[in-house]
Amino acid sequence: MRRARALAALVALASLVGCQDDPPNISLLQLERGGSIDFVCLCEATDGSWSGTGMEACDPNSGDTDCSIFALVLQTNRGEIAVVDLDRNRLHDSDDRVPFTTFPHVGTFPSDMVVSLDGTHIYVVHVGEPTLAIVETSGILGPTLPEPVFVDLPAEAQSVDLTRDRSQVFLTLPFENALGRIETGVEPLAVQVLPLVGEIPAADEVPETDPDASTDADEESDAAEDVLDDVAEDLPSDVPDEDTDPGAPVTFRPVEVKVVETDGPRRVFVSGFTEDGGGGVLELDLDRLEAGDDALEAFVAIHLAGRPIAAFDVVDVSPTFSDETTTPEGRFLYAGNRDEQLLHVVDLDTGEEIDSSQSDPLVGRAIRTDGIVVDVLAVSFEDESSEGAGDYEIDPLEMRGVFVYVLTSTGIVEVVNVYDRVCWYFMTDSDPDNDPASCTPHVLRNVYDEEDSYPRWFDEPALMNGDGETITYLPTNCTGMATPCFADHDYMKPYAPTDSESRFSYGVTFFEDTPDDPLMPVIRRTVSETWGMIWEGRVPWTTGVGGNVSEDGLTLTDPGIYYCAMGVLGREMDASGSYEGDVLVIEDGPDPLDTDLDCSGYPSEGGAAYRIAGATQHTLTIERMAQFDPETDEWNSDGFDPPGEECFPFAVKYHVRASNQWIVSASETGFLHSTTIDGDGFCTDSMQACTDWNDPLDCTLLTSRAGMNATFVNPYVRFKILDNGVDAPPLTTTILRPGLAFFFAAIAGFQPLATKAATLPHSIAYSEHLDSLFISDRAWDGLLKFSPDAFTVVYEYN
């Protein structure tokens, strides 16, 4: 019906063009709403016919001049596959009898496409109709349009992949909460529905699994639900409420499927989400699926449980050089969070999520991206040298090794270093004394500020490690220093080692008009908490703790986050009697800003220490740990008052023990907010006050009450960062010297390597033979050719 209508519309359009006195002013889109991308190598026979073949025939070194590479781009609205001749840089007209450029039709609203490894067939699934379309590549160049073979499915499918020998097709059936499997060698073609309904664990921790264990046929008893039950039992007790209930049966709605057949175990990965906001990536055993097991019987592990996952890719890193012993060998899962601007990294051999946080470690251990991840692509750039380090010549700017490209909803392309061969060479091959950890894997690749600025160590900035040594906070005298030095913003007095604890407001900028004490400004006039930073020469980048910090002159801001009480969650007292994590210490009980508020009925906040039990943007959840006894001048963790109500909000000051994870830069802070009470009685931020530097408003707080252990908004917190030494007692009255938990690994720009390549991107693909990335865009109707070395768009097809 839809196809008929589209054809009718086309005919009508053609007739209009021919009959109208005044030709309509239309711009005919040729590449419209591009979706999935794949490539095919087509070779021309002597009789002029074309046939698809493996990509090796299109290798420029193969000498076969009758073969050409074509990009195939799914056009969702038109239900077509656009054929792009990459050798001639033009769109291919598959049927020149029809006006304008014509492409093969593949069904209503196709959603995903894959070309078989042998180049002979294209498999297309749709969200507009419950079919799988199979197109022979030999017909896609015309002269007439090929007729797909349609295989009926029980419901619409969203994603498709197939085995290397194309003997099996896997597709996701989101409306059926199932995975579909088709054996292509069995006629008639029929789909086996593999339900994905079971007890999905909620935590991100997955028990260690032997990747090969489940392939043993003797372990049939290791049924999926048992495995999932085991996982559920291993869950930590403090699973957030909003995560999936580990004991409840969950229907897993699949999004994307990938078949991974490497030298390691043969796997099928399925990403998805659950109705309650959970999800993850299922790892299924391909051998078991081939043997006829259903999805849960073939279950190996669930990764990133409790997190909704859409796009993902799997990368397998193997040592390239025989003399390297520290290559980050292994299998890794890169998965984009469906709801948050995060990219998760999982070590598939251990099941552990890797801490790649460059932003808020409280929010997650993932890489914060610019926008929602829409596609993930692992690329291994061939390293032409295999002679070992001794004879190795390398261009420091060249991309060699293994990288993961991330395409986000904002049109940004970013790169994650998985195995940066260039860095590895300069860090370890050239000097065995260098710390190999400096070539940090699984972090966003950053911008190099000079052509010869390859990653390498400067002297380790020990002062920045917060180990009790003097920290240099010299806003005006950084010249000649190899290490960066920090300074507060204009209105803040530079820190000196002799500063007392009264200088608690590092990183916070206030108005000047604090006549009584410029170092103790009126808190309601706080306007910013961006940090100033002064450096000499190149700016280091940070690993694990810094983040996507952008710089503008001497002001650094983190565009990925707003203000947040960031740090690491506090944990229970361990066997040694000490606490880990961040601690909120309220040293005094400041008067309420609303002087009419009677707080006499509430215990004083002064002299109380709290464990930070939860913190997100603008929020803190605290639990009282101890209180200060003025009579004994000591902190007591026993017998302190039980948690009670506080008179909130206060302008509290607190110190955070950074525990080696702390973010110092932010923008659009909670400091800019006032609070109000919404219709349900909750405190919420109100942006009506103090948002304009030039026109300060009265930010007098409204009043409300908040109980202990409740998460509340307190936009007026002030902080300083204490030493991150593990021995720093959180309850001590001795305030340690401020320190920053930065650990500088290499030099280059602070900013991640990122390029805005598209407006509403959909997919990214890599052609090894052309050494180019291709990006489809749904906003302005095109296919973009992207150079991985120049890191920019080099050609546009539309």
Partner 1 sequence: MPKRLLLAPAFVLAASCMPNSAGVSPPSDGIFFPTAASLTPDGDHLAVASSNFDLAYSNGTVLLLDLDRVETELVSGCPEEGCEPVEESQFVLEAETVRTGSFASFLETAPEGSRMYLTVRGDTSLTYLDMDPSADEGRKLTCFDREDPPRSRKCDSKHRVTSGLSADPYAITIKRQSYPHDTGGETVVDWIFVSHLTSGQVSVFEAEVNPLDRDLPPRPVLEDESFPLGVTAVELHPLTSGTFYAATRNSRSLHTFSFATDPLNFDGSTRIALGRTIPIDVLGDGHDSRDLVFSTDGNMAFVSNRSPNSLVLVDTSLDANGWPRNRTVGAVELDAGPSLLTVWSPPGWDTEWIYATCYNMDRVYVIDPVLRMAVDVILTGNGPHTLITDTERLLGYLVNFIESTISVVDLDPASTSFNDVRATIGIPEKVRSND
Choice between 10 and 520, CB closer to partner 1: 10
From 339-347, 419-427, 599-607, 746-754, give the range in contact with partner 1 by CB under 8 A: 339-347
Residue matched to tokens 């010869």: 452
Regarding 678 and contact with partner 1 (CB under 8 A), the answer is yes
Of 192, 410, 430, 798, the residue at the interface with partner 1 (CB under 8 A) is 410
Regarding 5 and contact with partner 1 (CB under 8 A), the answer is yes
From 38-46, 114-122, 406-414, 591-599, give the range in contact with partner 1 by CB under 8 A: 406-414
Regarding 550 and contact with partner 1 (CB under 8 A), the answer is no
Of 53, 271, 341, 505, the residue at the interface with partner 1 (CB under 8 A) is 341
From 231-239, 336-344, 437-445, 502-510, give the range in contact with partner 1 by CB under 8 A: 336-344
Token pair for 713: 């908004």
Of 382, 391, 517, 680, the residue at the interface with partner 1 (CB under 8 A) is 680
Binding to partner 1, residues 146-175 (CB under 8 A): 156, 158, 174
Q: How many chain residues are in contact with partner 1, going by CB under 8 A?
A: 49
**Residue 114 contacts by C-beta under 8 Å, 6 or more apart in sequence?**
36, 38, 122, 123, 160, 161, 162
**Residue 357 contacts by C-beta under 8 Å, 6 or more apart in sequence?**
364, 365, 366, 367, 368, 544, 545, 547, 661
Spatial distance between the Cα atoms of 10 and 16, rounded to a whole number of angstroms: 10
| Helix, strand, coil content of the chain in percent (nearest 5) | 10, 35, 55
**Cβ neighbours around 732 below 10 Å, total:** 12
Strands 718-722 and 653-657: parallel
Q: How far is the CB of 30 from partner 1 (least distance, A)?
A: 16
The full length of the chain comes to 798
Choice between 244 and 409, CB closer to partner 1: 409
Binding to partner 1, residues 14-53 (CB under 8 A): 33
Regarding 700 and contact with partner 1 (CB under 8 A), the answer is no
Of 230, 242, 431, 796, the residue at the interface with partner 1 (CB under 8 A) is 242
Q: Are 133 and 121 in contact (CB under 8 A)?
A: no
Q: How far is the CB of 534 from partner 1 (least distance, A)?
A: 29
Of 92, 105, 181, 253, the residue at the interface with partner 1 (CB under 8 A) is 253
Choice between 241 and 516, CB closer to partner 1: 241
Of 216, 238, 322, 682, the residue at the interface with partner 1 (CB under 8 A) is 682
Regarding 756 and contact with partner 1 (CB under 8 A), the answer is yes
**CA-CA distances (angstroms) from residue 229 to 210, 232, 233, 503, 566?**
17, 5, 6, 52, 33
Of 117, 155, 372, 597, the residue at the interface with partner 1 (CB under 8 A) is 372
Token pair for 102: 């014509």
Residue matched to tokens 């009925």: 601
- CA 179, 184, 186, 189 dihedral sign is positive
Spatial distance between the Cα atoms of 770 and 783, rounded to a whole number of angstroms: 15
Binding to partner 1, residues 704-733 (CB under 8 A): 710-711
Regarding 779 and contact with partner 1 (CB under 8 A), the answer is yes
Of 143, 154, 240, 497, the residue at the interface with partner 1 (CB under 8 A) is 240
Q: How far is the CB of 370 from partner 1 (least distance, A)?
A: 8
Of 1, 186, 217, 575, the residue at the interface with partner 1 (CB under 8 A) is 1
Q: How far is the CB of 332 from partner 1 (least distance, A)?
A: 25
Of 218, 241, 516, 727, the residue at the interface with partner 1 (CB under 8 A) is 241
Spatial distance between the Cα atoms of 107 and 180, rounded to a whole number of angstroms: 19
Regarding 603 and contact with partner 1 (CB under 8 A), the answer is no
Regarding 696 and contact with partner 1 (CB under 8 A), the answer is no
Choice between 126 and 442, CB closer to partner 1: 126
Of 326, 688, 732, 733, the residue at the interface with partner 1 (CB under 8 A) is 688
Choice between 273 and 750, CB closer to partner 1: 273
Binding mask 311-330 for partner 1 (x = CB under 8 A): --------------------
Q: How many H helices and E strands in the chain?
A: 4, 52
Q: How far is the CB of 1 from partner 1 (least distance, A)?
A: 7
Regarding 205 and contact with partner 1 (CB under 8 A), the answer is no
From 214-222, 425-433, 504-512, 678-686, give the range in contact with partner 1 by CB under 8 A: 678-686
**CA-CA distances (angstroms) from residue 137 to 41, 92, 165, 168?**
9, 13, 16, 18
Regarding 760 and contact with partner 1 (CB under 8 A), the answer is yes
**CA-CA distances (angstroms) from residue 375 to 68, 406, 633, 634, 732?**
26, 6, 57, 55, 48
Phi, then psi, of 373 in degrees rounded to 5: -70, 125
Of 53, 68, 76, 274, the residue at the interface with partner 1 (CB under 8 A) is 76
Q: How far is the CB of 210 from partner 1 (least distance, A)?
A: 35
Spatial distance between the Cα atoms of 626 and 608, rounded to a whole number of angstroms: 6
Spatial distance between the Cα atoms of 379 and 220, rounded to a whole number of angstroms: 36
- CA 103, 104, 110, 116 dihedral sign is negative
Spatial distance between the Cα atoms of 578 and 132, rounded to a whole number of angstroms: 59
Choice between 261 and 685, CB closer to partner 1: 685
Choice between 25 and 632, CB closer to partner 1: 25
Q: How far is the CB of 669 from partner 1 (least distance, A)?
A: 13
Regarding 643 and contact with partner 1 (CB under 8 A), the answer is no
From 236-244, 417-425, 509-517, 538-546, give the range in contact with partner 1 by CB under 8 A: 236-244
Of 13, 51, 54, 128, the residue at the interface with partner 1 (CB under 8 A) is 128
722-727 contacts, C-beta under 8 A, 24 or more apart? 722/655, 722/656, 722/657, 722/658, 723/466, 723/467, 723/468, 723/657, 723/658, 724/465, 724/466, 724/657, 724/658, 724/659, 724/660, 724/662, 725/466, 725/467, 725/468, 726/580, 726/659
Among the residues of 609-689, which ranges form H helices? none
Pick from 740, 217, 648: which is nearest to 464 by CA?
Answer: 740
Regarding 412 and contact with partner 1 (CB under 8 A), the answer is yes
Binding to partner 1, residues 88-127 (CB under 8 A): 108-109, 111, 127
Residues contributing to the site for partner 1 (CB under 8 A): 1, 5, 8-9, 33, 76-77, 108-109, 111, 127-128, 156, 158, 174, 240-242, 253, 277, 338-341, 371-372, 409-412, 673, 676-680, 682, 684-688, 710-711, 756, 759-760, 778-779
